[in-house]
Structure formats: C-alpha cells, structure tokens
C-alpha cells in the first residue's frame, strides 16, 4: 500500500501572529515557518505504518510557495520516500477546496491506499481539507484520529470527539486526519537530513492538474481581536474569596 501525506507550510506554532497595520492579513515576513504540527503527526504515522510493514511507499505533497520545499525536505528526513511540490506564487493562499481538488488529481495518479492529513492548519484553522478530499474521492473518512490500525482491506480509526472517543471501520482506500494524541513525531537525525537531500522532489503547478485555484472567499479585512483590559492581582486566598463573593459565586 502507498500512503499519501499532504503537508502545509505554516507560521511556527511558537510565534505570536501579528496583524498587518493595513488590515490586509497577518504579517508573515521574517517570521519562522514550519510544517503544520498536525501534518508532522501525519508524517510520523505514515512512517510508523511503513516500519510495521503495512505500507511500502510514502509520498508527501505540499501546495505552496517555493519555500515549501523545506517543509517537504523535513518530511523526507523523517522517513518519507518522495515529495511533490505543487508550486504557487509566494503571496497566493490556496483554499482548502482547491487544495482538495489538486490532492484528488494526485491521488488519481498515485492510487494511495491511505491519505493521512492533519485535522486543521493552525494558520487558517479551517478543518476542511481532509473531509473535502474524501468527498471528491468518494471514499470514507476517519477524522481527528487518536489511533489508526490497518487490518486487511480496512482501517480502524479511533476518533477524538466532543464526548470522548468513537471508533469507525473504513474500507480502503480511506482518508484519515490526525489529532494531537495519535503519536509524538520524531526529530529527524542529522544523517537522515543529509540523506533527504538526495530523495526525489518533483515540482508541478496547479495547471498541470487543470485545477482553477482562484479563491471563492474574499478576505475583506483582518483585525486584531479585542484586547482584555488588565486585571488585578490578589495577595492571598482570602482576597480571592472576597472577589468571588462580589461576583456572586462564593
């Protein structure tokens, strides 16, 4: 079985995003960028499935600017076999629906048994792409995965849901999106980072797949959220209790 893992290059989760003064978006110049954390979890899961003998090949795909090659190299260093960059201009944000259409076109060529995505990009917080890809491929989906077991022609996915956990069984090929508890991604070792430089990385464009990436949603403006006004410090528990009493809860 082949596994396809889409990864997105996003602002590093440790960076506090700043809104641009002109309200046009978030300032990404000179900001540290990394692989979306949920996608690292997806890459790790794919590598573990390969290590367990459940998969033969892992292909990683990113739709993004030329710099997304760094993200793909990180995945290659973690144990992925080859990479595809569907390159767009630096300023272009490709929406989840168009990403899903490109991924569908790639899946038509690659025929993966499993597509492993992150549940959400920490930039646009959309939480859509995996579900959309599953719809376009007309295949089942196991979102927010807490555990993934490939058994014969099926994958058993334990999902993190509002009330706890839910388990579903999906016929392969299937689409799975990762949640935080699925695994803890490895760090690539230096020798593996060196080896990754020699692994194949193919560069394509959305036009190669005949996909229109023009946006369906216009961002009219982006502003900072309202800031909370500074609070007070209490010296001890008695003072805290007095405050709670004045709030009517103690």
Ligand X SMILES: Nc1ncnc2c1ncn2[C@@H]1O[C@H](COP(=O)(O)O)[C@@H](O)[C@H]1O
Whether the bond between 12 and the residue before it is cis, its omega within 30 degrees of 0, is no
Q: How far is CA 74 from CA 22, 174, 199, in A?
A: 34, 25, 11
Maximum pairwise Cα distance, the chain: 68
Binding mask 122-161 for ligand X (x = CB under 6 A): --x-xxxxx-------------------------------
Which structure tokens are listed for 186?
Answer: 């490895």
Min dist CB 20 to ligand X, Å, is 21
Q: Which residues of 126-164 are buried (b: 16+ CB within 10 A; e: fewer)?
A: ebbbbbbbbebbebbbbbbbbbbebeeeebebbbbeeee
Does the footprint of ligand X cover residue 117 (CB under 6 A)?
yes
8 binds, among another protein, ligand X, ligand FAD, none (CB under 5 to 8 A by kind): ligand X
- Quick note: the x/- pattern for ligand X over 84-103, rule CB under 6 A, is ----------x-x--x----
Stretch that binds another protein, among 66-74, 77-85, 189-197, 221-229 (CB under 8 A): 221-229
Residue whose pair of structure tokens reads 């979306």 in the numeric block? 36
Q: Which C-beta is closer to another protein: that of 39 or that of 95?
A: 95
**Position among 122, 156, 193, 201 found at the interface with ligand FAD (CB under 6 A):** 122
CB 140 within 8 A of CB 124: no
What's the rounded Cα separation, in Å, for the pair 134 and 130? Answer: 6
> Which span (1-9, 186-194, 202-210, 238-246) binds another protein, by CB under 8 A?
238-246
Please name the helix (run of DSSP H) or strand (run of DSSP E) that holds residue 174, with its range, or none: strand 174-178
Number of residues that bind ligand FAD (CB under 6 A): 3
Contact positions with another protein (CB under 8 A) in 46-105: 95-97, 100
Binding mask 59-88 for ligand FAD (x = CB under 6 A): ------------------------------
């Amino acid at each position: 079985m082949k596994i396809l893992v889409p990864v997105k290059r996003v602002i590093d989760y440790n960076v506090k995003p700043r809104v641009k003064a002109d309200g046009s978006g978030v300032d990404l110049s000179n900001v540290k960028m990394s692989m979306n954390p949920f996608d690292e979890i997806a890459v790790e899961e794919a590598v573990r499935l390969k290590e367990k003998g459940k998969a033969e090949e892992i292909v990683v795909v990113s739709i993004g600017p030329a710099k997304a090659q760094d993200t793909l190299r990180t995945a290659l260093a973690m144990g992925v076999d080859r990479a595809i960059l569907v390159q767009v201009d630096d300023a272009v944000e490709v929406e989840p629906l168009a990403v899903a259409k490109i991924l569908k076109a790639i899946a038509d060529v690659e025929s993966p048994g499993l597509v492993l995505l992150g549940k959400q990009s920490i930039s646009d917080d959309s939480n859509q792409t995996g579900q959309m890809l599953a719809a376009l491929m007309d295949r089942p989906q196991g979102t927010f995965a807490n555990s993934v077991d490939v058994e014969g022609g099926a994958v058993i996915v334990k999902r993190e849901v509002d009330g706890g956990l839910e388990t579903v069984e999906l016929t392969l090929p299937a689409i799975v999106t990762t949640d935080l508890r699925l695994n803890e991604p490895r760090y690539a070792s230096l020798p593996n980072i060196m080896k990754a430089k020699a692994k194949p990385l193919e560069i394509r464009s959305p036009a190669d797949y005949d996909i229109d990436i023009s946006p369906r949603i216009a961002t009219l403006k982006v502003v900072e959220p309202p800031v909370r006004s500074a609070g007070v410090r209490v010296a001890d528990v008695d003072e805290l209790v007095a405050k709670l009493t004045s709030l009517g809860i103690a």
